[in-house]
Amino acid sequence: MKNSSMDDNVAPFRALPPAHTWPVARAGAWAGAALSVALLGGCATVANPDPRDPLESYNRSMTSFNEQVDAMVLKPVAIAYQGAVPGPVRTGVSNFFANLGDAWSFVNNALQLRGEAAASSFMRFNVNTFLGLGGVLDIASEMGIERYRQDFGLTLGRWGVATGPYLVLPVLGPSTVRDTLALPLDAKGNLASYVDPVPARNSLYALRAVDVRANLLRAGSVLDSAALDKYSFTRDVFLQVRSHAGEPQGSNADRDDRSGANDGVLPEEPPPAR
């Protein structure tokens, strides 16, 4: 199975549904209180905000809220998952969800008129689905078929829609105005959303959230120990990735000549820890 790499600090997280109903009221009350505190804290203004981040005060407060949710829920579950599930199984889970993403990447690469990338995404999805046990095995990577990750936010960027201001979403984390507006279509493009019955679908959502967070444990530890402003670092890297990946067609032609085949494509997600 192929190991992949990306900037581990900018991947967005999805909400993790509770496994039982008894703690819902208590968790909901705690989350509501924490969110209220975060929003109240965001009322203060930043003296010299970054032009790309006019909502910095709110965003920092929302980041603090997300970090509390992560510390209370997501990270402990991810640590338990990593400790209890063998590495090859976790790799298979990551491969499965990455394969689902290849289907949506095919659609967006086609919409962006990226012929080679669309063909590769189409081939990856079919090879891994039919030969790789539904995507659990990454046969396409072993065959040398490249992955070109895309989403609808990047498709909008391809055709000239600017990213807009940086925006931190509750639980989901870093985003932009453009990417936030694209979320409903990205949700429709997630093949897991068509799974029936609903409990099975929600189980996939939960597993995906745990898988993503578990893959980011090592990166989180490095970031926590570094002597830097985590908020600014995450924002700057995220905006760099999104703006470069979604440049309009025909812009910076000289840059295109110097770029590789993966220009305009999201970096890979981190592989599961062994």
What CA–CA distance (Å, rounded) separates 81 from 251?
44
- Helices 198-215 and 217-225: crossing angle, nearest 10°? 40
Query: Which string of b and e fits 198-234 if b means at least 16 CB within 10 Å?
Result: eeeeeebbbbbbbbbbbbbbebbeeeeeeeeeebeeb
What CA–CA distance (Å, rounded) separates 73 from 14?
12
Q: What is the pLDDT of residue 12?
A: 40
Q: Which residues pair with 175 in a beta bridge?
A: 167
Q: What is the pLDDT of residue 59?
A: 97
Q: How far is CA 239 from CA 45, 94, 104, 164, 176, in A?
A: 21, 25, 22, 10, 8
- Mean per-residue pLDDT for 55-83? 96
- Mean per-residue pLDDT for 47-70? 93
| pTM assigned to the model | 0.77
Residues 238-264 have pLDDT tens digits of 999 887 664 444 444 444 443 444 445
| Three-state DSSP class for residue 168 | strand
Residues 7-51 have pLDDT tens digits of 444 444 333 333 333 333 444 444 455 445 445 555 556 777 889
